[in-house]
Chains A and B, each alone.
Chain A
Amino acid sequence: MLSEGGSFMKGMVMGGLFCLVLSLLGSFSPVTESRTDDNHHHHHHVKAASKDELQQLSDSRLQELNNQLQVYCVVMVQPKSLVYWATALDTWTKHCDKAEFYTSEASKALEAIDLNEKDDWARLRKALKHAYENAGDIRWFFVAQPNTFAIIENLKYLVLTKDPEQPFYLGKSVKSGELEYVELNSGIVLSYEALKRLVNVFQDEDKCPERGRQLWKLSDDKQLAVCLKFTGVFAENGEDVHGKGLFNSKTVDSLISESMKQNPSNVVEGCCSDLAVTFSGLSANQMQVMMFGVYRLRPYGHDFHDLLTFFPPKGSDND
């Protein structure tokens, strides 16, 4: 009996050792994917808070967050796309707490901050620097082009529980070789801390040159990612509680068409988030249609019991 017990113990020890060796070699890894990332922004997505998480906050805390949460919209325009500029002015930018239009050259038709700069990257730098210097109390910055339609309320919902004194750089994140960056055409979100670090690194001509490397020219959104990376800020994909991307580089029509091919029995659910923040590539007319579709069209009697309230902007008639 004893000898049998002994051999059992030997077997157990051998089995346990075998298991340890295997796991250390990583051929099966229960240990790897679970490192918690609370203090490091090395995870690559940022999700909106769930209803449960929000319900755990006190009413006064929610109210505080609601009031403090302000967005400065940095809209990069050009006279050649005047129609988009005018439409953005008349539609979604009205929902920004502060919206500034930064142009490559002045236009007689519309007012903007004239950066007098033809180069995209140099223009973006100047605009961001100006926004930082004129932020006042605003702690969140949203950079977009005028043919992107943004729903600022949903942007606020996404960053509601995120601390702007931490660096955040969000949007539709895309990988190009080794570089992960946020696409400009679906909108870029920067927290105050991220923008602060960016403006500081602008002074470093080695890490973040103003005219870009002469040999190969990176697009302005990639340049932004490179500079931010040097300050320890990394691109993250903005998602809803279900992991669906909130920032879209295509139009609703285009995404629905794709969904009809991929999920023919579940087209709308398989397409886009209910709380999407941006769609892009819209015509001026499509933006006016979207304004109605987002802010007005709805079925009578549906109440979502949202935990925050955002008021319609003063002096506007199309929302």
Chain B
Amino acid sequence: MKTVSSSLVELDFIRSFIMRPKCVTFTIGLIFGYLSLRLLLTSMFSVEPVSDLVRNEKNRLHAYKVHTEASQKNNSAVNPPNATRILCWIMTGPRNLESRTKHVKQTWGKHCHHILYMSSEKTDFPTVELNVSEGRENLYWKTIRAFQYIHQHHQDKANWFLKADDDTFVVIENLQYILSKLDPEKPLYLGRRFKPFISQGYMSGGAGYVLSKEALRRFVKGFQTGQCTHFSTIEDMALGKCMETMKVEPVDTRDVKGRQTFHAFPLDHYVIRQQPRPRPWHMIYDYYVPNEGPNCCSDFIVSFHYIYAVQQYVLDYFTYHLRPYGYLHRFRPDEIVEDNNKTNKGG
């Protein structure tokens, strides 16, 4: 009883002390004075960093806007109904998703209008399950099933169909540039043309190849009618045979200066200056006479092969990011209107 009452008395005392009007107003005045002077000091002296922050933010936003404007400009070209729409499908498998396919997805995969990852298993990557086992000997089965799947479910999503490996790097905008001049209702087939085995040649699998809408129809029809069969496990060559059988035309994808766009190897296999020499092993199959050194390759590269992880990002950086400010590129094909007769296409 006594402790309760004494604490009550104490409380009472404290309360009466605090409640004294002078004390309250003094405390309020203290807080008010402190805060207002602090505000005054910060507003007087922090003008520089604040405006810096604002400027930096504006610059960052502006740079972001420039970049998205740049990429949107290309997508806006897709809106008209006759525009080039590319469906990409990547030949991959469960073992490569983490080490390779993931990096494709984060780099050039984003530039495809539609992209499908074909595997033997369905996953949340997401991958499509083809009813085919993994292994080199099943690559052509995978290709057949992949195109059949696309024909059945995704035919209307695109008018061009790109097949690439999980170690291919593709610049979709440059592929689009080539395709925009072609008619997808024609039976056409594009890639890095090789000459052995098939008389009209065939396109390297690793460098990526493209079928027009009509070419896709004919490929599927070929298997329906038995005109095309799984006669070999060599995917790119076997598909090339089917293309020939179904009268699909191979396209010369070199630029107006005769330089290649699709490549079956990384850049350093082509661009390094060499003394004139007989064709090295990795160019033995080339249908068109290849150049070595700076004239190997078009500025508007479409693909490279054997590109793993780090190199996917390196190429992405070189293609879409690193640039020489204000540089007037030598190769400006849109300005060479009169030069149509002067092509370097030897053959």
Contacts and interface: CB of A to CB of B under 8 A. Distances in A.
A298 B25 CA distance: 70
Given A253-B310, A304-B70, A272 B322 contact: yes
A293 B31 CA distance: 62
Contacts of A252: 314, 317-318, 322
A151 B177 contact: no
A275 B322 CA distance: 6
Contact of B314 (A34, A52, A253): A253
Given A30-B45, A298-B319, A12 B33 contact: yes
Q: Which 4 A-B pairs give the minimum distances between C-beta atoms? A: A11-B29, A15-B33, A12-B33, A293-B318
Interface in B139-158: none
Contact of B325 (A8, A90, A157, A318): A157
Contacts of A296: 297, 299, 329, 331
Contacts, number: 240
B63 interface: yes
Nearest to A279: B322
| Interface size classification for chain B | 35 or more
A299 interface: yes
Interface residues of A, number: 80
A95 B310 CA distance: 28
Q: Identify which of B47, B177, B297, B317 gathers the most chain A CB atoms within 10 Å of its CB.
A: B317
Given A153-B325, A252-B314, 7 more contacts: A11-B33, A12-B33, A95-B324, A242-B63, A293-B315, A299-B319, A308-B326
Nearest to B43: A30
A11 B316 CA distance: 63
A268 B323 contact: no
Interface string A171-204: 0000000000000000000000000000000000
A257 B31 CA distance: 53
A148 to B, nearest CB: 15
A256 B314 contact: yes
B310 A11 contact: no
A51 B29 contact: no
In terms of DSSP, what is the predominant structure of the interface of chain A?
A: helix
A242 B173 contact: no
Given A157-B326, A268-B313, A309-B326, A36 B37 contact: no
Contacts of B317: 252, 256, 268, 271-272
Contacts of B59: 50-52, 241-242
B96 interface: no
Nearest to B293: A318
Interface in B299-323: 299-301, 309-311, 313-323
Contact of B326 (A259, A276, A306): A306
B321 A268 contact: yes
A27 interface: no
B294 interface: yes
B97 interface: no
Interface string B28-57: 111111111110011001111100000110
A243 B271 CA distance: 34
A107 interface: no
A299 B48 contact: no
Interface of B: 21-23, 25-38, 41-42, 45-49, 55-56, 58-60, 62-63, 66, 70-71, 73-74, 77, 106-107, 171-174, 176-177, 267-268, 271-273, 293-295, 297, 299-301, 309-311, 313-331
A306 B36 CA distance: 47
Contacts of B297: 292, 296
Contacts of B46: 30, 34
A219 interface: no
Nearest to A283: B268
Interface in A262-317: 265, 267-268, 271-272, 274-276, 285-286, 288-289, 291-312, 317
B324 A153 contact: yes
B41 A34 contact: no
B41 A30 contact: yes
A16 interface: yes
A33 B87 CA distance: 54
B318 A319 contact: no
Contacts of A291: 294
Contacts of A20: 37
Nearest to B295: A317
A3 B327 contact: no
